[in-house]
Structure 1
């Protein structure tokens, strides 16, 4: 009997690699293409388009400074074509990587019937089963929702939309708004409550004024109806005013777990209110040999988290006891400069201890030198516990923030005291935040 992994996104693919590395015979089943949402419809597509957006915005900056001249023409169809060509190359690499660990890959849609996995008409027994079927965009209950698009449709668009109304106040809403406003679309963000509510006020203000200045943001606004080329909204702060905004509606309101496949083997109380599969810290369901990982279990929908969950599940499937912890998870928003942030849980520090905040401007370095003249070099905000000198949270807007915050999140997880940062030597030139933190403390 074999281990079976259903779904080959970040969670399932990494679980397959780990099982293979541990000498476990594994079948990996994928309905469409290896890589999951991240590669095919999500993170990597956003990264590819953000690269183009950054290039265009940088070229406008250089032109305004009188450094370069000339018009740039955009071919959206060619961009889409090249993204798809790149995805095919990565699909091949992912396939070869897993088969090199002796994983057997089956392409087809799986079902679970009578405690067997059925795919392409074949019934398979399993020693352990991992459900890593991911999630789909969540469609809110809005009249005319069928006229909207979401991240699955980005590579289906024939041209850049003239006007785009993004419904949702999340990170993906910010990233998509940056891409299409940079490509020339007139963009609105319609947030039911607060836009980017996970960020501190100073950081959010910088993003809106400096990085999304060509995007109109409607906070505390309800979407009443979606039409083919129009969105009807109601303001909650302006006397319930109802208005119409022209443009295609783009839904960015979160994710809905693809957990239907587990309905035949798990009881109703083994799913949460949103339909996510409930697991313990070993990624195990209430059925001892059935595991779940990635977006299908809800929680933090991030590729690194899905990978970590897949690896933890694989180790337990192979008999190596392992548990997951979620403290100090770094996150980012991919705009012209990345915004990266991490915070501890309240348990990590006594909430009654005094907290000191540090707010400093971004430094000059690669990818930020020419932003000095426009006063757009970013910023860093850090909070630390004055009693034990442990970092509680940090947010950085800088070209190097993604790698900086990843390492800082590790130091926060292991409880490293900030006075020991003196031993850190940065690579120069860079825009890292470590030196700034030490200097201002």
Structure 2
């Protein structure tokens, strides 16, 4: 059978564009890609990139205050959201153009419209036309989830924060995951009065000792946090949005943002009608080759709800292209994936948590918590945490958790050693770089706890 394309990719985010480019430019496939919004996906347009730029902006007041402690005459002035957003929009336009150019230069045909799966080898475009493809790759990512309750139409999601016309004076962030906590820190740093609600402890999926330190410092920085709190109703009033909680608390905010998780974006894609199996949360079920139960249809990235990180989607997309079109059978290794949470303080993590170590047994926990030199000299109360989790038998480092400025930069380097199977003794044999915070990772000699 002759097909219009060897590969049709639905979704122009990180995983989709990598798969399309590699299949076309390196393996000679005839490829098309459809994106209904903007090329670059969640990470580039409404996630990692603009968020990180907002993180940089939000840390400037702290730098000014620290500068004074170091003898500089420094004035903070006022933050100009409009000027920042104008520059941010221009940067996102630039990045989108780079992504688009990368596809066209590779020979990928782009469709700037929604596409749905209408058969094992058929895709229907929003304009009503259909195209055939030997292989279809679903890479539509995820989207914010907002529960249904009275007044839910008044809330924003993390997608909307980048498009605010002006910063509110009072904002409520609902949620306790890394997205909610990052935006709480960002907006607090930009001068907004931030309150955060969540039904459970914040950052509960992460190491408890690390998250407790982060939450303590978030509160010390001025963020008002209420856990075990569930919103039952939101009403729009002359004073703002009146929020009512199950325990009877009522507060008024200018803006309410829900960051209560993301769900795979599969609704209305025609996957079920095409026979593709979906999971309980709507995720596309795939095997270790990213292949669905329909042999011609594959999926990568957040839409599969495996490990929802941009670099993971990129590697899954690359492995798919190499396997299907390059004759190089490759799978994405989902073990020991490092990640960073850009709260203030920053958090870098790789491997198992202490709670998981306790369940596993035969582990040692090495911990160092201290006030870093830079903060101590400035008279600040900031503390950092370094933690290693070690297998007692193999001596391999099974987990590393860092709460510190630039923790994301540090955990990237540690993850290389962990991926290579480095032991605690090999960490110890590495000479320290002094004076640094990271030297604690190679100078902790006695375990604080054993399981």
TM-score when scaled to structure 1? 0.90
Task: Write the distance in 2 (CA, Å) between the matches of 1:150 and 1:282.
Answer: 33
Task: Write the distance in 2 (CA, Å) between the matches of 1:370 and 1:78.
Answer: 34
> 1:25 and 2:30 equivalent?
yes
Cross-structure match for 2:95: 90
Change (3 A) 1:231 1:332: farther
Shift of 1:241: 4.2
> 1:357 and 2:365 equivalent?
yes
Cross-structure match for 1:15: 19
Task: Write the distance in 2 (CA, Å) between the matches of 1:151 and 1:350.
Answer: 35
Task: Write the distance in 1 (CA, Å) between the matches of 2:313 and 2:368.
Answer: 33
Shift of 1:382: 1.8
Q: CA RMSD in A?
A: 2.6
Cross-structure match for 1:322: 330
Map 1:121-200 → 2, pairs under 5 A = 121-200=128-207
Change (3 A) 1:43 1:227: farther
Shift of 1:134: 1.2
Shift of 1:293: 0.9
- Do the aligned partners of 2:353 and 2:399 also contact (CA within 8 Å) in 1? no
Map 1:215-364 → 2, pairs under 5 A = 215-228=223-236, 229-234=240-245, 240-260=247-267, 261-263=269-271, 265-267=273-275, 270-318=277-325, 319-344=327-352, 353-361=361-369, 364=372
Change (3 A) 1:439 1:431: closer
- Do the aligned partners of 1:190 and 1:219 also contact (CA within 8 Å) in 2? yes
Q: 1:385 aligns with which of 388, 391, 408?
A: 391
Structure 1 moving runs of 4+ over 6 Å: 426-429
1:141-193 deviation digits (Å, cap 9, x = unpaired): 22211100011211221111111111111101111001111111111111111
1:228-279 deviation digits (Å, cap 9, x = unpaired): 33353436xxxx44333434210001112111314354437x1111111111
- Do the aligned partners of 2:275 and 2:294 also contact (CA within 8 Å) in 1? no
- Do the aligned partners of 2:338 and 2:348 also contact (CA within 8 Å) in 1? yes
Change (3 A) 1:25 1:13: same
- Do the aligned partners of 2:217 and 2:345 also contact (CA within 8 Å) in 1? no
- Do the aligned partners of 1:50 and 1:179 also contact (CA within 8 Å) in 2? yes
How many residues matched? 431
Task: Write the distance in 2 (CA, Å) between the matches of 1:42 and 1:216.
Answer: 24
> 1:202 and 2:209 equivalent?
yes
Task: Write the distance in 1 (CA, Å) between the matches of 2:296 and 2:66.
Answer: 57
- Do the aligned partners of 1:148 and 1:249 also contact (CA within 8 Å) in 2? yes
Change (3 A) 1:194 1:407: same
- Do the aligned partners of 1:342 and 1:405 also contact (CA within 8 Å) in 2? yes
- Do the aligned partners of 2:266 and 2:282 also contact (CA within 8 Å) in 1? yes
- Do the aligned partners of 2:272 and 2:278 also contact (CA within 8 Å) in 1? no
Cross-structure match for 2:423: 417
> 1:405 and 2:411 equivalent?
yes
Range moving further from structure 2, 371-380 or 248-257: 371-380
Cross-structure match for 1:50: 55
Cross-structure match for 1:70: 75
Shift of 1:35: 0.8
Range moving further from structure 2, 78-87 or 211-220: 211-220
Task: Write the distance in 1 (CA, Å) between the matches of 2:330 and 2:353.
Answer: 21
- Do the aligned partners of 2:397 and 2:418 also contact (CA within 8 Å) in 1? yes
Change (3 A) 1:192 1:349: closer
SS of 1:125's partner is: strand
Change (3 A) 1:308 1:216: same
- Do the aligned partners of 1:282 and 1:313 also contact (CA within 8 Å) in 2? yes
- Do the aligned partners of 2:233 and 2:245 also contact (CA within 8 Å) in 1? no
Range moving further from structure 2, 195-204 or 122-131: 195-204
| 5+ residue gaps, structure 2 | 446-451
1:107-152 deviation digits (Å, cap 9, x = unpaired): 2211223442233443211111101011110111222111000112
Task: Write the distance in 2 (CA, Å) between the matches of 1:349 and 1:177.
Answer: 30
| 5+ residue gaps, structure 1 | none
SS of 2:286's partner is: coil
- Do the aligned partners of 1:362 and 1:397 also contact (CA within 8 Å) in 2? no
Task: Write the distance in 1 (CA, Å) between the matches of 2:254 and 2:209.
Answer: 30
Task: Write the distance in 2 (CA, Å) between the matches of 1:88 and 1:121.
Answer: 28
